[in-house]
Amino acid sequence: MTTTEAVPRTAGTASEISRAHTLKQVLQVQSFQILLVLLVIFLAFSALAPEVFPTWGNVRQIIQNVSILGVLGIGMTFVIVTSGIDLSVGSNLVFSGVVAAKVMQAMGGSGWGTAVVGILVAVGCGLGWGLLNGVLIAKAKVPPLIVTLGTLGGALGLAQVITGGVDIREVPAVLQDTIGYGNVPGTTLPTISLLAIVLILIFGTVLHRTRFGLYTFAVGSNEESARRVGVKVDRQLISIYVLSGGLAGVAGILSLSQYGTTAIAGQSATNLNVIAAVVIGGTSLFGGVGTIFGTVVGLFIPAVLQNGFVIVGIQPFWQQVAVGAVLVVAVYVDQRRRAAAARGHAAKADGKRKLFGRRSR
The residue type at 131: L
354 in contact with another protein (CB under 8 A): no
15 in contact with another protein (CB under 8 A): no
| Binding positions for another protein, 150-209, rule CB under 8 A | 206, 209
83 in contact with another protein (CB under 8 A): no
Closer residue to another protein in complex, CB, 55/222 = 222
211 in contact with another protein (CB under 8 A): yes
222 in contact with another protein (CB under 8 A): yes
- Give residue 251's Cα distance to chain centre: 12
229 in contact with another protein (CB under 8 A): yes
Cα pseudo-dihedral 323, 328, 334, 340, rounded to 10: -150
214 in contact with another protein (CB under 8 A): yes
Q: Pick from 345, 350, 354, 359: which binds another protein (CB under 8 A)?
A: 345
Closer residue to another protein in complex, CB, 51/224 = 224
Give the nearest distance from C-beta 338 to another protein in angstroms: 9
Q: Which residues contact 261 (CB under 8 A, 6 or more apart)?
A: 167, 168, 169, 171
d(CA 62, CA 68) in angstroms, rounded, equals 11
Rounded to whole angstroms, what are the CA distances from 73 to 197, 204, 211, 298?
A: 12, 11, 21, 9
| Binding positions for another protein, 267-296, rule CB under 8 A | 287-289
Rg of the chain (C-alpha set): 22
CB atoms within 10 A of CB 264: 21
Q: Pick from 169, 228, 235, 354: which binds another protein (CB under 8 A)?
A: 228
Q: What is the full DSSP assignment across 240-306?
A: HHHHHHHHHHHHHHHHHHHHSS--GGGGTTHHHHHHHHHHHTT--TTSS---HHHHHHHHHHHHHHH
46 in contact with another protein (CB under 8 A): no
2 in contact with another protein (CB under 8 A): yes
335 in contact with another protein (CB under 8 A): no
8 in contact with another protein (CB under 8 A): no
Return the half-sphere exposure (C-beta side, CA atoms, 13 A cut-off) of residue 287. Answer: 17
Q: Applying CB under 8 A, which residues contact another protein?
A: 1-6, 10, 206, 209-212, 214, 217-218, 220-222, 224-231, 287-289, 341-342, 344-345, 348
